[in-house]
């Protein structure tokens, strides 16, 4: 699914004027009037002051809100990812299936998301060329086709060469340590975080966006049941910590055994392969796969007739 399409679908459900664009957060504070619940006070760089019953920071891996809360900075996984969207105006003719390719220190893949568009990626151990390419689409694509991915199948390289330059990126893969998610300050009064601002993870289990949507459902449900916004926020964080930490750990481990451990030599390399083939795939991977079918529950409670919100 195009991220743009998802954002547009969500935005269409909001009243006009709800979303404020081109706004930069300057400061966050909380205040409490006598006899009233604690609120969040946001000051924007244009001088605007917004008072809110709840502040949920969904501002990504370098979240200003998570920094204000005191969560630890995301750590580098030692890997980076090129992501692109190939466009075939007359149709690509590919089967609608995910295809992945592994080689030493590399993992690549592609999957059609429509009759004309194909999402593709390449995950590599971080190299100096990433800094040199910066955000230049031509340099990024040249590094993929002429260097990093030159041994990939011709079909994959053809998809990469059809990339829309506006949807091509190369960035380090960051994650927040699971113990920081379990024990870190993820809430203060009515202020909390969600998605990558709370639990950034590597993409190896493809659960980043899904877990952010889970956050939204759980937070909405917790707020609807709580006596105060701060109570709802605290309940949300308590419910989400364990699953988020497990997803981050599982994604990191999955990526390491599938890609990071492939270029380890000697006795250590043998132990890595032993762990991967006899422990990870036999015992851990099935449990990780089950997490993809997680049910975070209904957005609202079933009504008196026993019908759910979806009905």
Q: Which of 161, 171, 164 is nearest to 135 (CA)?
A: 171
Categorise residue 302: left if φ over 0, alpha if ψ from -120 to 50, beta otherwise. Answer: beta
Question: 298-307, long-range: CB within 8 Å, 24+ apart, which pairs?
Answer: 298/217, 298/221, 299/217, 299/220, 299/221, 300/220, 300/221, 300/224, 301/221
Q: What torsion, rounded to 10 degrees, do the Cα atoms 62, 64, 67, 72 define?
A: -20
Domains of the chain, by residue range, sit at 56-73+176-251, 76-174
The domain defined by 76-174 carries CATH number 3.30.9.30: yes
Q: In whole angstroms, what is the distance from residue 301 CA to residue 255 CA?
A: 37
Dmax (CA) for the chain in angstroms is: 68
Q: In whole angstroms, what is the distance from residue 77 CA to residue 68 CA?
A: 24
Q: In whole angstroms, what is the distance from residue 274 CA to residue 210 CA?
A: 31
The answer to whether residues 282 and 305 touch, using CB atoms and an 8 Å cutoff, is no
pLDDT at res. 84: 96
Tokens of 248: 């981050």
Q: Which residue has the tokens 């019908």?
A: 307
For 196-220, what is each residue's pLDDT tens digit? 999 999 998 889 999 999 999 999 9
**Worst-scoring range by mean pLDDT, 32-41, 84-93, 235-244?**
32-41
pLDDT at res. 71: 98
55-57 vs 191-193, strand pairing mode: parallel
Mean pLDDT of the chain: 89
The domain defined by 56-73+176-251 carries CATH number 3.50.50.60: yes
pLDDT at res. 301: 61
For 227-250, what is each residue's pLDDT tens digit? 999 999 999 999 999 999 999 999
Angle between helices 229-255 and 208-225 (to 10 degrees): 160
């Amino acid at each position: 699914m195009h991220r743009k399409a998802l954002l547009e679908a969500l935005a269409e459900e909001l009243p006009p004027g709800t979303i404020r664009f081109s706004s930069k957060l300057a400061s966050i504070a909380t205040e409490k009037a006598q006899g009233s619940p604690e609120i969040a006070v946001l000051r924007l760089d244009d001088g605007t002051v917004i008072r809110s019953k709840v502040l949920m920071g969904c501002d990504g891996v370098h979240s200003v809100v998570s920094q204000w809360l005191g969560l630890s900075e995301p750590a580098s996984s030692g890997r980076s990812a090129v992501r692109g969207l190939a466009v075939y105006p007359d149709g690509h003719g590919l089967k609608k299936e995910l295809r992945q390719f592994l080689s030493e220190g590399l993992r690549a893949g592609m999957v059609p998301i429509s009759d004309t568009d194909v999402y593709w990626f390449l995950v590599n151990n971080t190299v100096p060329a990433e800094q040199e390419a910066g955000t230049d689409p031509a340099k990024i694509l040249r590094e993929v086709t002429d260097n990093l991915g030159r041994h990939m199948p011709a079909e994959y390289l053809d998809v990469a060469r059809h990339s829309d330059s506006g949807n091509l990126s190369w960035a380090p893969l960051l994650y927040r340590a699971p113990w920081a998610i379990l024990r870190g300050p993820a809430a203060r009064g009515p202020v909390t975080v969600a998605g990558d601002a709370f639990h950034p993870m590597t993409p190896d289990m493809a659960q980043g966006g899904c877990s952010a949507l889970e956050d939204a459902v759980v937070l909405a449900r917790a707020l609807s049941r709580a006596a105060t916004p701060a109570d709802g926020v605290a309940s949300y964080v308590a419910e989400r910590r364990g699953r988020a930490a497990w997803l981050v750990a599982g994604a990191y481990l999955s990526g390491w055994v599938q890609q990071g451990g492939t270029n380890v030599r000697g006795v250590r390399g043998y132990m890595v392969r032993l762990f991967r083939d006899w422990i990870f795939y036999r015992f851990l991977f099935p449990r990780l796969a089950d997490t993809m079918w997680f049910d975070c529950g209904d957005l609202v409670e079933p009504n008196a007739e026993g019908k759910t919100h979806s009905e």
